[in-house]
Amino acid sequence: MDYSLDLGAVTRNFGPLLEGLWVTIQLTLAANVIGLVLGFVIALLVMSRVALIRVPATAFVEFFRCTPAIVQIVWFFYCVPMLFNIYLGSMTMGIVALGLNLAAFNGEAYRAAIQSVPREHRDAAVALGLSPLQSTLHIILPTAFRLAIPVLLTNGIVIFQQSALVAIVAVPDLMYEAKSLATKTYRPIETFTIVALVYFAVSFPISQLVGWLERRRSVAMA
């Protein structure tokens, strides 16, 4: 293959990639806010004893966990406007789709963490005369969140990587800008290699943090 590498073709046009990275970070942060808050609510609904509450929440979780994220993104982008006459920007649609996807996975993480909350904590809340809402907000939520942090961070890394899928609906994220730059410069190898390294540079430190938290929790439990 007669192909000579020219990284300069990418580094000289790095501005659009930085702009795309900023969009990717915005998508990831917004989706994580939705996922962290809504995920806990979904966990409580899934654990409800009332079937009319539990069944729809469980169906929500299973739908988003068992269908590809790219299908969810495309569905929100094309079907929501047609079915509900709701027209939002591509960026907003991407945030909603990624946020709901993350909420489903975080919901399962929270559910497992809530079930791991020691019974003594719940009994203490009753002894203190706390209402169910107060017990949930001040005892169950903080404890479950602390237990679920490694999984929540891992899910956050996954959603950062999956945010590249919004390029298919023309959201100008890092992947979209990379495709545009590769087409313009005819340098796909250099462009996508550098973009892969950017994704790695962001994800790797967080994955190491997750490993450190898990080791610390294991030592504490031991």
Q: How many domains does the chain fold into?
A: 1
What does the pLDDT average to over 40-69?
95
Domain assignment present for 3 = no
Domain assignment present for 196 = yes
Q: pLDDT tens for residues 180-219?
A: 999 998 899 999 999 999 999 999 999 999 889 888 877 7
Cβ(160)–Cβ(24) below 8 Å = yes
Kindly tell me if the per-residue pLDDT of 1 is higher than 80. Answer: no
Sequence-distant (6+) residues with CB within 8 A of 75 are 97
CATH of the domain at 159: 1.10.3720.10
Cβ(24)–Cβ(16) below 8 Å = no
Provide the domain limits for residue 178.
8-221
Q: pLDDT tens for residues 86-124?
A: 888 889 999 999 999 999 999 999 999 988 888 887 788
Domain assignment present for 2 = no
pTM of whole model > 0.85?
yes
SS3 state of residue 212: helix
Domain assignment present for 1 = no
d(CA 123, CA 130): 10
Kindly tell me if the per-residue pLDDT of 126 is higher than 90. Answer: no
Q: Which helix (H) or strand (E) holds 56?
A: helix 51-66
Domain assignment present for 171 = yes
Q: How confident is the model at residue 221, as a pLDDT?
A: 60
Domain assignment present for 167 = yes
Domain assignment present for 210 = yes
Kindly tell me if the per-residue pLDDT of 166 is higher than 90. Answer: yes
